[in-house]
Amino acid sequence: MLTPNLPRTGSLIIENGLFTYITQENKILNFDSSGRLSRVISNDETTYINQSADTTIIKLPTKEIELKTRNTALLSAKLGDIKIDLTYNAHGKLSRLNYSNGETRNYFYDDPRNPNLLTGITDERGIRYATWAYDDQGRAISSEHAGGAERTLVSYNADGSSTVTNALGKRTTYRFQTIQGIRRITAIEGEPSANCPNSNSTFTYDDRGLVKTRTDNKGNVTTFDYNDRGLEVSRTEAYGTPQARTVTTTWHPTLFLPASVTEPDRITTYSYDDQGRPLSQSVSPR
């Protein structure tokens, strides 16, 4: 049996050529010999998935869902008397949902520079209720609902930061650092406006891209430490002040569940069965 170490993502178990993946939420996903998902176990509920060339049957405890596919495209979904048929355009993008009650929802890709970019949605009433626009690099620059409601603008600055202007006119700039190939937010700079308080905050990270410190708009600092699995084992709020408060956590050796949480005034201890279902919880004062 092989169990790769996947910090902050879950545990992958390979046994007799079969794969089992345990998520951070302690869902257990079983895959058959062809690599297809066959069962999902979540707390007291088990879902079975039967897959053939073009049909997938998902059996839940109280219902059954039937999915029809062609290659990788979903063609229809049926749950009891409710059925949805999906239509795609010449570029293979979803263009319409047809409901069994006769209603439809349409999706548009009107940007001539890139036919894969979703530019709008018309709802079941025939109203264009969502619209998006992009720049020459395919990056989103605006989003709005019908009549310009909740209009949000995004600009991409020369220094690599991005500035978001919300519907109330508040501008917030996000600064980034690339760690392990992922862009992480290092600073949020937002000046106060008539409708919004300032949103200034900063973040630092360790080599794995996990947050080490977080400073809010009032200057309060929170520090974090993690174990080898990428799970938080210590958090100190109001770091460096007389009000500093530290919370430490120990974890179940295989599940992504806390075994104990120690706070300044109490210790809470938990136990679970093999499927991660709670068995007991006790609180003792410090």
The mean per-residue pLDDT over the stretch 168-174 comes to: 93
The mean per-residue pLDDT over the stretch 145-157 comes to: 96
pLDDT more than 90, % of the chain: 75
Q: Is pLDDT larger for residue 77 or for residue 1?
A: 77
pLDDT for the residue numbered 49: 93
Tell whether the model's pLDDT for residue 53 goes beyond 90.
no
Which residues have a Cβ under 8 Å from the Cβ of 253 and sit 6 or more positions away? none
The mean per-residue pLDDT over the stretch 215-225 comes to: 95
The mean per-residue pLDDT over the stretch 238-249 comes to: 98
pLDDT for the residue numbered 197: 64
pTM given for the model: 0.80
Q: Please tell me the least confidently modeled range out of 34-48, 75-89, 147-161, 170-184.
A: 34-48
Tell whether the model's pLDDT for residue 5 goes beyond 50.
no
Tell whether the model's pLDDT for residue 235 goes beyond 70.
yes
